Chains A and B, each alone.
Chain A
Amino acid sequence: MNDFRPLTLHVPEPAVRPGGTPDFSNVKIPKAGAVPRPEVDANPEDIRDLAFSIIRVLNRAGEAVGPWAGLLSDEELVEGMRNMMTLRTFDARMLIAQRQGKTSFYMQHLGEEAISCAFRKALLPGDMNFPTYRQAGLLIASGYPMVDMMCQVYSNSRDPLKGRQLPVMYSSKEHGFFTISGNLATQYVQAVGWAMASAIRNDTRIAAAWIGDGSTAESDFHAALVFASTYKAPVILNIVNNQWAISTFQGIARGGAGTFAARGLGFGIPSLRVDGNDYLAVYAVAKWAAERARRNLGPTLVEYVTYRAGAHSTSDDPSAYRPKTESDAWPLGDPIIRLKNHLVIRGVWSEERHKQAEAEILDSVIAAQKEAESYGTLHAGGKPSARDMFEGVYAEMPPHLRRQRQQAGV
């Protein structure tokens, strides 16, 4: 006789589903300023705690406190504010444009604006980001022309990618923004290779890898950590934990069992967890990790704790799998409101200036949109040439593609 009871399969479930009351009581949030700031050459063994806490600078009152504070000037913070507001406005306009049928698809950053906007400011010219589809703040904060972003979203006659790519899959070598792929996690290990190349060539440039919580389950996440650790590559391994992978809560990627940051520890990679809705904290941690990389001290893993306030994409309806009010209950708040409160306390911002900035930014985004639409939208006006479809598959067009282009008659 067998005295074991039948086995059962464990399938994690989020705490709450639609109709329920949002509950983030499981998210343990330390006080702002509570987490120490180690030296960049600290022994990874000695800073293991940083992978289990959350580095925060802005407190409830909007004050910048603790050892990670004090790195940014008033001007820099105001610029960060405007970048985040620009990204949010850009998102809102492109969402509407998608609903109006001007493009097929869009993905917004709502609630995650601080991460890419602040991170970009910690890099130097020549560094390379390997982003996912939800880091367009890297482009906005680096001054990439918004008209070009919109032309890409519209796949029009001025689309820098000639209409070959889905909307939001931007690419700009000049702005340190690696070409986005639809295949998740692939860029994470490529970033490590790029960083290894910089080290092989005795350069001083560093790379930044980006991934979401869900995609950490992909095998390339694991490969990237092994290679980054083995070769001490000058790379910052960013994980944006926005709690959701489309409809799948982070527990399915085994979030909640430890932290995502803690996965770096097994590889001997210093790993930090940071408040992703705190512009100052994101910047401070990014700066710390960048400094480590540039001083040849190797990779750093950073988990940004945030919340995907919007739908996954324009093809998604989150009310089908999570409570409608869940984003309001998110304990780390809204990154724009939090920086706004801080700027007001600093005396460099006010409700009035905020409204004025909103109006200015909206005007400039609308102006950019008008210009972009003058070059066409997906179904109307200018289009990339059908000849472009055959270009760029190889450096030189091989005979079989030339034949196919002739058959296509373009």
Chain B
Amino acid sequence: MARMTMIEAIRDAMDVMMARDERVVVFGEDVGYFGGVFRCTAGLQQKYGKTRCFDAPISESGIVGTAIGMATYGLRPCIEIQFADYMYPAYDQIVSEAARLRYRSNGEFTCPLVIRMPTGGGIFGGQTHSQSPEALFTHVAGLKTVVPSNPYDAKGLLIAAIEDPDPVIFLEPKRLYNGPFDGHHDRPVTPWSKHELGEVPSGYFIHPLGKASVVREGSAMTVLAYGTMVYVAQAAVAEIGIDAEIIDLRTLVPLDMETIAASVKKTGRCVVVHEATLTSGFGAELAALVQEACFFQLEAPITRVTGWDTPYPHAQEWDYFPGPARVGRALVETMEA
């Protein structure tokens, strides 16, 4: 066991897999010599050489497109898009190619590929360093989408993603890289070294994809969250004193509907929280699925607390970001509904 930040845990996952499997290659913009703008790949080039970890031209479609070619050759690329906000030039390669290779070739060509992308706001990143585009991936058949919320999960999920035979979009909430964040931007942030989930086993282990984690058991309502919003939900629940069950989804596709449905059937209420914009966001899918699975147990409408349907602003960061106060109000309203 070692104390790690999320950055260190992600780097450790790649280190473990590069050592175990020489087919694993890591590349992206500034990923090689410099070790990544978030330090997630620091030291990997020195340890494994320039043909295993290298810098790429500034071309997202080139990075993803070449990685797809490598994956079909038999490598296991784990590549980085510097910010999820910059994945759009690669969207054609992700949607039309990575997601569909296995299907359209009837399994002749497969794409064991991981695309890591720092995601999410709460860092004054403005419009192009704060987006949460997960719904643009969850809508695509053939992709798996993962969002870890702590170092321990990040390592286990990333190793599982690298070993997965299908393309995995691995969204890393950059707000959580150095420590958990509950939305109280006016308070000092606790580093991962002071958090129990900063304790990460050394060596190889996995968290299977498709398994949610119940981070707080409760009986009054179910809160579905992932990424940074897990901590916001925890803070909101603590502050308003509701006995809510909080589920960290961890994997959006495939989704752990068993855990979700069991919880909502028990509590009878459900609030979905995410940073991404509301309309057609992943919360809409969650609300629809919960409604289908738990209609007769629901005692209140399913509520969504999300980013507003606007581009992510700069100066208005804390009016946009769904913080503990806004989440708390929704929880109270859902209890009273």
Does A194 lie within 8 Å of B89, measured CB to CB? no
**A-contacting residues of B (Cβ < 8 Å)?**
25, 51-52, 56-57, 59, 61-62, 65-70, 72-75, 89, 92-93, 96-97, 100-110, 141-142, 144, 164-166, 210, 253-255, 257
Instruction: For the complex, give the distance between the alpha carbons of A18 and B144 in Å.
Output: 50
Give the chain B neighbours of A194 by CB distance below 8 A. 69-70, 72-73
Instruction: For the complex, give the distance between the alpha carbons of A400 and B142 in Å.
Output: 12
Taking the closest CB of chain A, its distance from the CB of B138, in whole angstroms, is 11
- Given A201-B75, A393-B102: A186 touches B92 (CB 8 Å cut-off): yes
Give the chain B neighbours of A181 by CB distance below 8 A. 96-97, 100, 104
Does B66 lie within 8 Å of A200, measured CB to CB? no
23 contacts between A and B (CB under 8 A): A164-B104, A171-B108, A173-B109, A179-B108, A181-B104, A182-B96, A183-B97, A186-B65, A186-B97, A189-B69, A190-B66, A192-B65, A193-B65, A193-B69, A193-B70, A199-B51, A227-B59, A227-B66, A392-B102, A392-B106, A394-B102, A395-B102, A400-B254
Give the chain A neighbours of B105 by CB distance below 8 A. 161, 171, 173, 179
Closest B-chain residue to A233, C-beta based?
B66
- Bits for A390-402, please: 1 = Cβ < 8 Å to B, else 0: 0011110011100
Does A164 lie within 8 Å of B69, measured CB to CB? no
Taking the closest CB of chain A, its distance from the CB of B83, in whole angstroms, is 18
Give the chain A neighbours of B110 by CB distance below 8 A. 395
- Given A173-B109, A223-B61, A227-B57: A196 touches B70 (CB 8 Å cut-off): yes
Interface centre among A162, A188, A201 (most CB of B within 10 A): A201
Does A223 lie within 8 Å of B59, measured CB to CB? yes
Give the chain B neighbours of A230 by CB distance below 8 A. 57
Does A220 lie within 8 Å of B103, measured CB to CB? no
Taking the closest CB of chain B, its distance from the CB of A196, in whole angstroms, is 6
**B-contacting residues of A (Cβ < 8 Å)?**
128, 130, 160-162, 164-165, 169, 171-173, 178-179, 181-183, 186, 188-201, 207, 219-220, 222-224, 226-227, 230, 392-395, 398-400
Taking the closest CB of chain A, its distance from the CB of B146, in whole angstroms, is 13
Instruction: For the complex, give the distance between the alpha carbons of A171 and B141 in Å.
Output: 20
- Given A178-B109, A186-B97: A196 touches B69 (CB 8 Å cut-off): yes
Give the chain B neighbours of A162 by CB distance below 8 A. 106
Give the chain A neighbours of B92 by CB distance below 8 A. 183, 186, 220
> Lowest 10 A-B CB distances belong to which pairs?
A193-B69, A193-B66, A189-B65, A223-B62, A197-B73, A179-B105, A190-B69, A194-B69, A398-B254, A395-B165
- Given A194-B70, A201-B75, A223-B65: A161 touches B257 (CB 8 Å cut-off): no
Does A183 lie within 8 Å of B96, measured CB to CB? yes
- Given A171-B108, A189-B62, A193-B68: A219 touches B96 (CB 8 Å cut-off): no
Taking the closest CB of chain B, its distance from the CB of A226, in whole angstroms, is 5
Instruction: For the complex, give the distance between the alpha carbons of A201 and B70 in Å.
Output: 10
Instruction: For the complex, give the distance between the alpha carbons of A399 and B104 in Å.
Output: 21
Which listed residue, B51, B62, B104, B253, touches A227 by the CB 8 Å rule? B62
Instruction: For the complex, give the distance between the alpha carbons of A174 and B272 in Å.
Output: 48
Taking the closest CB of chain B, its distance from the CB of A385, in whole angstroms, is 12
Instruction: For the complex, give the distance between the alpha carbons of A183 and B98 in Å.
Output: 12
Does B69 lie within 8 Å of A191, measured CB to CB? yes
Which listed residue, B56, B72, B93, B166, touches A394 by the CB 8 Å rule? B166
Instruction: For the complex, give the distance between the alpha carbons of A186 and B93 in Å.
Output: 7
Give the chain B neighbours of A201 by CB distance below 8 A. 73-75
Does A197 lie within 8 Å of B57, measured CB to CB? no
Does A171 lie within 8 Å of B106, measured CB to CB? yes
Instruction: For the complex, give the distance between the alpha carbons of A398 and B92 in Å.
Output: 24
Interface centre among A191, A193, A219 (most CB of B within 10 A): A193
Give the chain B neighbours of A161 by CB distance below 8 A. 104-106
Instruction: For the complex, give the distance between the alpha carbons of A393 and B142 in Å.
Output: 5
Give the chain B neighbours of A398 by CB distance below 8 A. 210, 253-254
Does A393 lie within 8 Å of B103, measured CB to CB? yes
Instruction: For the complex, give the distance between the alpha carbons of A325 and B11 in Å.
Output: 63
Instruction: For the complex, give the distance between the alpha carbons of A294 and B199 in Å.
Output: 48
Instruction: For the complex, give the distance between the alpha carbons of A292 and B57 in Å.
Output: 24
Does A190 lie within 8 Å of B65, measured CB to CB? yes
Taking the closest CB of chain A, its distance from the CB of B140, in whole angstroms, is 10
Closest B-chain residue to A174, C-beta based?
B108
Instruction: For the complex, give the distance between the alpha carbons of A195 and B66 in Å.
Output: 9
Does A186 lie within 8 Å of B59, measured CB to CB? no
Instruction: For the complex, give the distance between the alpha carbons of A393 and B136 in Å.
Output: 17
Taking the closest CB of chain A, its distance from the CB of B279, in whole angstroms, is 22
Instruction: For the complex, give the distance between the alpha carbons of A200 and B166 in Å.
Output: 22
- Given A179-B104, A186-B92, A226-B57: A171 touches B69 (CB 8 Å cut-off): no
Taking the closest CB of chain B, its distance from the CB of A109, in whole angstroms, is 21
Closest B-chain residue to A188, C-beta based?
B65
Instruction: For the complex, give the distance between the alpha carbons of A194 and B210 in Å.
Output: 30
Which listed residue, A164, A191, A399, touches B257 by the CB 8 Å rule? A399
Give the chain A neighbours of B210 by CB distance below 8 A. 398
Give the chain B neighbours of A192 by CB distance below 8 A. 65-66, 69
Instruction: For the complex, give the distance between the alpha carbons of A220 and B64 in Å.
Output: 11
Instruction: For the complex, give the distance between the alpha carbons of A373 and B254 in Å.
Output: 39
Interface centre among B52, B65, B109, B255 (most CB of A within 10 A): B65
Which listed residue, B56, B69, B144, touches A197 by the CB 8 Å rule? B69
Instruction: For the complex, give the distance between the alpha carbons of A179 and B253 in Å.
Output: 25
Further contacts, 4 of them, CB under 8 A, given A178-B72, A183-B97, A223-B62: A190-B65, A219-B89, A220-B92, A227-B56
Give the chain B neighbours of A219 by CB distance below 8 A. 61, 89
Which listed residue, A160, A183, A198, A222, touches B106 by the CB 8 Å rule? A160
Closest A-chain residue to B49, C-beta based?
A200
Does B62 lie within 8 Å of A197, measured CB to CB? no
Instruction: For the complex, give the distance between the alpha carbons of A116 and B258 in Å.
Output: 52
Interface centre among B69, B70, B110, B257 (most CB of A within 10 A): B69
Taking the closest CB of chain A, its distance from the CB of B152, in whole angstroms, is 24
Instruction: For the complex, give the distance between the alpha carbons of A197 and B165 in Å.
Output: 17
Does B108 lie within 8 Å of A197, measured CB to CB? no
Taking the closest CB of chain B, its distance from the CB of A143, in whole angstroms, is 17
Does A200 lie within 8 Å of B25, measured CB to CB? yes
Does A197 lie within 8 Å of B74, measured CB to CB? yes
Taking the closest CB of chain A, its distance from the CB of B60, in whole angstroms, is 9
- Given A160-B106, A190-B68, A193-B69: A179 touches B101 (CB 8 Å cut-off): yes
